[in-house]
Structure 1
Amino acid sequence: MTFVDEVKNAVTPRAALLVIGVLGLQLLFIASYVGALHKPKPTDVAFGVVAPQQVSRQLVAQLDGLPGGPLDPRTVSSAAEAREQIMNRDIDGALIVSPEGRTDTLLVASGGGTVLSGSLERILTEVTASQQRAVRTVDVAPASPEDFDGLSSFYLVVGWCVGGYLCASILAISAGTKPANRQRAVIRTAVMALYAVAGGIGGAVIIGPILGALPGSVWGLAGLGALVVFAVGMITLALEALTGIVGIGLAVLIIVVAGNPSAGGAFPLPMLPDFWRAIGPALPPGAGTWTARSIAYFRGNAVTGPLLVLSAWAVVGTALTLLLSMRHRTGQEGDGGAGATRATGGSTAA
C-alpha cells in the first residue's frame, strides 16, 4: 500500500470531519472568550440619581452624556428607594447628592461584581471632582471577603454545567449516542435527574459550609445547582439523540463557547460587548450565575426570569430526548424482517 492509501485507511472521512469540527470549536472558543473579555468597559449601566429636582435633571443629563455612554441614569425618589432598587437588581448603583454639604454618597453592590462597582466608583469620583465635590462609597450588598472579585458564583455554575454535559455524554457514549428505545431514554433521564440533585447539593455544600466562599441559603443554591445540571445534561442528551456524537460538540458550543464568556462572571453583563450581553441571560451559565449571586447577596431577588430560562432548557431537552427516542423506536418497528433483527441487535449492542 502506498502512503496515501495508508492515510485513507487511517483517517476516515467521518474522522476528518470530526477533527475539522473540533478545530472550528477551538477557534470559536478563542474568538468568543477574547472577543468578550479582552476590553471590558461599562456601557449603559443602570444608575440612579437622588437629588433635588433641578439638580437631578442637570446631573442625569450630565451622566447620560459622558463619553462612551457608560451610564444609563434615571431619577430615583429617595435614598431608601435607591437601596431597594439595587437590592432588587433594577439598578447597579446610585448617587445620593447632599443638598447641604459637598460630599455625596455613592451606593454600589460589589456582590453583583466587584469590577463593576469599582468602575462606578472611578466614574463618579471623576464626575464629582469636576464639580468640586467629594464622594464616599457605601456598599449595600458587599461581596464576601472569601469571594475574590465575586467570581465564586460563576465558577460554581461553570462546575455544574461541566458536570451536566459530561454526565450526559458518558450516558450516551457508553451505549451509543442515540437512545435505542423509549425505555432507555427514560432511564437516562432519571439518572440525569439523580445526578443533578447530587451535584447541586454537593456544589452548594462545598462553596458554602466547607469553603465559606458564598453566603446565602445552602438549600437555595443546591436547588439552583440541580436545575442547572439537569438543564445542561438534558439539552446535551437531546443534541446527542438528534445528531449523534456531534451533539457533544454542539453542547460545548452552546455552554462553553457561547455561554461562559457571556455569563457575566469575570465581568458583569454591563461591561460586556453588545453581542455577549444579549445572549448571556438566555444561556444556562448566565442564568445560573445571575441567580447564584441573587441568592448569595440580594436576598433571592430578581430570580424569576433566570429560573424560567433554566426551566425552559430543561423542559425542551427532556421533551426532545423522549420524542426522538420514540421516533427511533417507531422506525425500528416499521423495518420488519431483517431490519427488525438489525434493530434488535443494535439495541443489544447499545
Structure 2
Amino acid sequence: MATADDGTRGIRDQDTRDRSFLGEVKDAISGRAALLMIGVLALTALFIASYAGAFHSPKPKDVPLAVVAPQQMSGQLVEQLDKLPGSPLDPRTASSEADAARQIKERDIDGALIVDPRGTTDKLLVASGSGASLSQAVEQVVTQAEKAQQRTVQVQDIAPADQDDTRGLSSFYLVVGWCVGGYLCAAILAISFGARPVNLKRAVIRLAALAVYSVLTGLAGAVVIGPVLGAMPGSLYGLWGLGALIVFAVGATTFAFQAVAGIVGIGLTILVVVIAGNPSAGGAYPYPLLPDFWRVIGPALPPGAGTWVARSIAYFHGNAVTGPLLVLSAWAVAGTALTLLFSALTKGRTVINRSEVRQ
C-alpha cells in the first residue's frame, strides 16, 4: 500500500531527475562554451560570406597590359583599351616585344599586345604561371576588343604553368597547407598546456619548438610538391625556405593571438588566415579578378604573400618577391614580439588554465 512517505519520495525523486537533467545541460554546455559556440557560428557565416563574396562572380579589373605598336597608333589603342566597359584592363605602352616580355617575367604586367601594322593578326603574350584564370580572362577581353576592330589575335604563353600544374593552383594549395600546419601546431600547444604561456621562458621554448617544426614542415611541403608529386617546378631550397617562413609566421601569429585572448586566439587566427586570407590569396582567381576588398587585403596576409612568392619561384625565376617576403617577415616578427611581450606580462599565472583546457 502506498504511503505518504512513498508519495513524498516520488516527488523528491522526480525533482532529482529534473535537477539532474538541468545539471547535465549546464555541465555539458557552460556559459563559456555557449559563447564560444556563438563565436563559431559567426566565423561560419563569415567564412561563407568571404569565399562566396570573393569567388561568386570573378571579373577582370585593371589588369596591367602592355601595348607594343607603332608610335602613331599606340596612344590611340591604349586609350581605346582603357575605355573598355568595366575597365578590365590597365594598358600602358612598351617599347618593344622584348621589353613587354621582360615586364611579364618580372611580374610587372600580366599580358602584352603586340600589334602587327602590316596585317590584321596581332600577338598576345600571357603567363599562365600567374594563374590560368587570369591569362584566360586577358585573352578573352583582348580577343573581343580586337574583334571589334576586325582584327584577330594569336596567344603566346611565355611563362606557362607546368603540365602537371595546369591551372597553376599547386602553389596555392602548398601555401594553404603550410598555413594550416602553422596554426595547428600553435593550437595543439594551447590545448595541451594552456593558451597563454606561464612566463617568458615558456614562451621562448614554444617559439623555439615552432621554429624547428617550421623548418621540418617547410621541407616536407617542398619535397611533396616537387620530387614526390612533380606538381610544381622551382627551387627545392627556395620553396623550403619559403615554407619555413610561412609556417613560423602563421604559428607565431597564433601564439600572439592566444597570448592576448586565450583559446579564442585560435578563432582569431582562423578569421585572419582562413576566412580573410585564403579567398584573397590570388590562388583560384588572381588579384585582378577579385572584388576590391579582397584584392586590397590579399597581398598583406600570409596566404596571399606566400602564394605570390611560390609562383615566382616556380615560374618567374624568383622575380618580384621582396615585398611579399617582407610581409611574411613582418607577421613573423610581430607575432614573436607580441607573444614575448604578453607572456612577460602574464608571469606568475598558473601553468595550465584548466578552464581553457576543459573547453
TM-score class, shorter-chain normalisation, is over 0.9
Return the alpha-carbon distance in structure 1 between the equivalents of residues 27 and 220 of structure 2: 46
Structure 2 equivalent of residue 336 of structure 1? none
Letter in 2 for 1:44: D
Could you give the per-residue CA deviations for residues 295-347 of structure 1, whole angstroms, max 9, x where no partner exists?
A: 00011000000000000000000011111111111xx2xxxxxxxxxx4xx23
Written as runs of structure 1 = structure 2, the 5 A alignment for 1:3-82 is 6-82=24-100
Could you give the per-residue CA deviations for residues 145-203 of structure 1, whole angstroms, max 9, x where no partner exists?
A: 10031100000000000000000111122101110111111111011000100011110
Return the alpha-carbon distance in structure 1 between the equivalents of residues 31 and 77 of structure 2: 64
Structure 1 equivalent of residue 308 of structure 2? 290
Q: 1:228 aligns with which of 246, 252, 256?
A: 246
1:210 correspondence with 2:228: yes
Return the alpha-carbon distance in structure 1 between the equivalents of residues 220 and 323 of structure 2: 25
1:124 correspondence with 2:142: yes
Q: Structure 2: give runs of 5+ residues left out of the alignment.
A: 1-17, 355-359
Residue 63 of structure 1 and its aligned partner are, at CA, apart by: 0.5
Residue 51 of structure 1 and its aligned partner are, at CA, apart by: 0.4
Q: 2:324 aligns with which of 298, 306, 318?
A: 306
Residue 348 of structure 1 and its aligned partner are, at CA, apart by: 7.1
Structure 2 equivalent of residue 165 of structure 1? 183
Q: 2:201 aligns with which of 176, 183, 187?
A: 183
Return the alpha-carbon distance in structure 1 between the equivalents of residues 197 and 188 of structure 2: 13
Q: Structure 1: give runs of 5+ residues left out of the alignment.
A: 333-342
Residue 11 of structure 1 and its aligned partner are, at CA, apart by: 2.1
Letter in 1 for 2:278: N
Structure 2 equivalent of residue 323 of structure 1? 341
Q: 1:347 aligns with which of 329, 351, 356?
A: 351
Residue 5 of structure 1 and its aligned partner are, at CA, apart by: 5.5
Return the alpha-carbon distance in structure 1 between the equivalents of residues 166 and 188 of structure 2: 33
Is contact 2:194-2:352 (8 Å) kept? Answer: no
Could you give the per-residue CA deviations for residues 61-112 of structure 1, whole angstroms, max 9, x where no partner exists?
A: 1111111110011111111110011011110001000122221110000000
Residue 54 of structure 1 and its aligned partner are, at CA, apart by: 2.0
Which shifted more, 17-26 or 209-218? 209-218
Return the alpha-carbon distance in structure 2 between the equivalents of residues 255 and 133 of structure 1: 45
Structure 2 equivalent of residue 239 of structure 1? 257
Paired residue total: 336
TM-score, length of structure 1 as denominator length: 0.94
Letter in 2 for 1:208: G
Return the alpha-carbon distance in structure 1 between the equivalents of residues 121 and 297 of structure 2: 39
% identical aligned pairs? 66
Letter in 2 for 1:287: A
Structure 2 equivalent of residue 95 of structure 1? 113
Which shifted more, 47-56 or 23-32? 47-56
1:133 correspondence with 2:151: yes
Could you give the per-residue CA deviations for residues 195-221 of structure 1, whole angstroms, max 9, x where no partner exists?
A: 100011110111111111111111001
Secondary structure of 2:116 counterpart: coil
Secondary structure of 2:167 counterpart: helix
Return the alpha-carbon distance in structure 2 between the equivalents of residues 179 and 111 of structure 1: 43
1:266 correspondence with 2:284: yes
Secondary structure of 1:16 counterpart: helix
Change beyond 3 A, Cα 1:348–1:39: closer
For the aligned residues, what is the CA RMSD?
1.3
Return the alpha-carbon distance in structure 1 between the equivalents of residues 204 and 342 of structure 2: 12
Secondary structure of 1:68 counterpart: coil
